[in-house]
């Protein structure tokens, strides 16, 4: 049997997941259960995890998954289930996957979406929703300039870039020009030449020799701050 507080916490987590797909923060759990400190929440979480009612998703910020519920909770069943053999062996419930998974990726300074500028290497990281990233290694660059506005990329956006040296014609890439400057552009190939196209009619395409341009990644997503 669960203690009253364990039971309350489990139901609170389950309700939040069903409503929004996002597991509550430790501060929200502390307030919901009227606890004096977050250490009490940690103890309850650990107890529920040890007994197989929840699990913490690895490498994801505050992400919890409810594995099962005691038979006597008042939450609505997902599907009719066969009778359980004991009070704590009810059929597993299907709940929305937590939508607040966050990963930290390197933030490498600013990149031009106009005339190429130097790509700054930095030691910062940027927290990014995992849903914006696919497989592979990623990094972030802060966009400077307006040459990609018609592609929805604005000055001050954070470009989420999948690290790769290969890209198809028409993809938006991070291109290192002459080993010194980096820019965010559409990649086009014209015979043996490489053309970097803006998405703004105020700018002209940039054409380089095949040895002057190195693809360092392709655009995987964007983050934007609203001030």
pLDDT in tens, 156-177: 899 999 999 999 999 999 999 9
* Domain boundaries of the chain, sorted by first residue: 1-100, 102-223
Minimum mean pLDDT range among 5-14, 87-96, 102-111, 187-196? 87-96
Q: Residues 30, 144, 162, 185: which is the catalytic one?
A: 185
- Could you tell me which residues come within 8 angstroms of residue 115 by beta carbon, excluding any fewer than 6 positions away? 145, 183
Confidence grade of residue 43 (pLDDT, cut at 50, 70, 90): confident
Determine the pLDDT at residue 98: 45
- At 71-124, the pLDDT tens digits run 644 444 334 344 444 454 444 444 444 445 678 888 887 887 765 545 555 558
Half-sphere exposure of 204 (CA within 13 A, CB side): 3
Minimum mean pLDDT range among 11-15, 40-44, 82-86? 82-86
Determine the pLDDT at residue 73: 42
Is 185 designated active site? yes
Determine the pLDDT at residue 180: 81
Distance of CA 28 to the CA centre of its chain: 22
Minimum mean pLDDT range among 9-23, 157-171, 182-196? 9-23
Query: Which of 102-116, 135-149, 188-202 is the most confident on average?
Result: 188-202
Determine the pLDDT at residue 85: 46
Kindly report the pTM of this predicted structure. 0.54
Q: With a cut of 90, say whether residue 207 has pLDDT above it.
A: yes
Instruction: Look at residue 1 and give its three-state secondary structure.
Output: coil
99 class by beta-carbon count within 10 Å (0-12 exposed, 13-18 middle, 19+ buried): middle
- Say which residue the tokens 């979480």 belong to: 45
Q: In the predicted model, what is the mean pLDDT of residues 26-55? A: 83
Confidence grade of residue 193 (pLDDT, cut at 50, 70, 90): very high
DSSP code per residue over 69-105:
--TT--SPPSS--PPPSSTT-PPPPP-PPPS--EEEE
Domain 1-100 has CATH 1.10.10.10: yes
Q: In the predicted model, what is the mean pLDDT of residues 54-63? A: 67
220 class by beta-carbon count within 10 Å (0-12 exposed, 13-18 middle, 19+ buried): buried
CA separation for the pair 209, 100 (Å, rounded): 44
Question: 148 - beta bridge partners?
Answer: none
Q: Residues 23, 147, 162, 218: which is the catalytic one?
A: 147
Domain 102-223 has CATH 2.10.109.10: yes
- Percentage, residues of the chain above pLDDT 90: 27
Determine the pLDDT at residue 81: 40
Backbone φ, ψ for residue 28 (5° rounding): -65, -40
């Amino acid at each position: 049997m669960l203690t009253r507080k364990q039971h309350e916490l489990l139901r609170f987590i389950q309700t939040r997941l069903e409503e929004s797909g996002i597991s509550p923060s430790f501060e929200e759990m502390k307030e919901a259960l009227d606890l004096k400190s977050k250490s009490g929440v940690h103890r309850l979480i650990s107890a529920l995890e040890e007994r197989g009612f929840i699990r913490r998703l690895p490498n994801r910020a505050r992400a919890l998954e409810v594995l099962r519920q005691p038979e006597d909770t008042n939450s609505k069943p997902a599907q009719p289930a066969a009778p359980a053999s004991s009070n704590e062996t009810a059929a597993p419930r299907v709940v929305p996957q937590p939508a607040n998974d966050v990963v930290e990726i390197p933030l490498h300074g600013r990149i031009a979406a106009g005339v190429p500028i130097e790509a700054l290497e930095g030691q910062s990281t940027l927290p990014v929703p995992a849903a914006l990233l696919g497989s592979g290694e990623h990094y972030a660059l802060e966009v400077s300039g307006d040459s990609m506005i018609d592609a929805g990329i604005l000055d001050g956006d954070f470009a989420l870039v999948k690290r790769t040296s290969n890209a198809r014609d028409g993809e938006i890439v991070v291109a290192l020009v002459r080993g010194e400057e980096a820019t965010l552009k559409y990649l086009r190939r014209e015979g043996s030449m490489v053309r970097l196209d803006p998405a703004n009619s105020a700018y002209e395409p940039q054409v380089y020799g095949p040895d002057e341009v190195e693809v360092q990644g392709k655009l995987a997503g964007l983050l934007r701050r609203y001030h």
